[in-house]
Amino acid sequence: MAIRDIIILPDKQLRLVSKPVEKVTAEVRKLADDMFETMYDAPGIGLAAIQIGVPQRLITMDLAKKEGPPNPRVFINPEILWSSEEKGSYEEGCLSIPEYYEEVERPAKVRVRFTDLDGKVHEEEAEGLFATCIQHEIDHLNGVLFVDYLSKLKRDRVMKKFMKAAKRAE
Ligand code: GNR
Ligand code: NI
């Protein structure tokens, strides 16, 4: 297992549309292992493979409470089958946009279909933090970031801040 570097804004890789995982191979399981290690180290509650520079439709997530036992979950080739009309709002953050948090409104409930590490297909309904997180992660697979839902003023401000930080680091 290895902790990998997380790609941050304005890295253009974050705008790539990730490719479906064709087959759940040992390599895919190794990638998921590295993603968990990277996600827990960060720490974060979810991670899309593109955040470590791998444009494949693979997500890791753990929404367990700090006190409770861990609950590592993997979502391969996830698809949203249905979204509720009802909206919910959460203060979102992103490991690729460190230390920036804003309220984002999204469908409160979604139904998702995904494949697990055994290659088995599941369908599940998500609500609450799970609904927010799975939508945030599936957005990453499509090159979409949570700042895309903010006003142009707020988005421009955060983009500019990270552009400047990247220039300073050159
Ligand atoms: O760790 C994370 N926390 C979080 C909080 C609210 C809404 C979404 C998230 S996902 C984020 C990790 C991340 O960037 N995943 O892509
Ligand atoms: Ni994110």
User: What pTM, to 2 d.p., does this model score?
Assistant: 0.98
Q: Say what the pLDDT of residue 69 is.
A: 94
Q: Say what the pLDDT of residue 131 is.
A: 98
Q: Say what the pLDDT of residue 90 is.
A: 97
Residue 49 scores a pLDDT above 90: yes
Q: Is the CB of 92 under 6 A from ligand 1?
A: yes
Domain ranges of the chain: 12-169
Tell me how far the alpha carbon of residue 45 lies from the centroid of ligand 2, in angstroms.
9
Tell me how far the alpha carbon of residue 151 lies from the centroid of ligand 1, in angstroms.
20
Looking at every residue in the chain, the average pLDDT score rounds to 97
Give the position of tokens 């697979």: 141
- The secondary structure of 16-57 as a DSSP string is PPPBPP-S--HHHHHHHHHHHHHHHHTT-SEEEGGGGT--BS
Q: Which atom of ligand 1 is found nearest the CA of 94? A: 14
Does the annotation count 85 as an active-site position?
A: no
The torsion angles phi and psi of 113, rounded to 5 degrees, stand at -115, 135
Residue 152 scores a pLDDT above 90: yes
pLDDT tens, 115-135?
A: 999 999 999 999 999 999 999
Residues of the chain with pLDDT > 70: what percent? 100
Is residue 112 within 8 A of residue 126, CB to CB? The reply is yes
Q: Which pLDDT band holds residue 1 (cuts at 50, 70, 90)?
A: confident
CA-based torsion, 82, 94, 8, 150: positive or negative: positive
Ligand number nearest CA of 48 is 1
What is the architecture of the domain spanning 12-169? Alpha-Beta Complex (3.90)
Q: Which atom of ligand 1 is found nearest the CA of 45? A: 1
Average pLDDT rounded to a whole number, residues 54-83: 96
Q: Which pLDDT band holds residue 170 (cuts at 50, 70, 90)?
A: confident
Least confident of 21-30, 61-70, 96-105, 124-133: 61-70
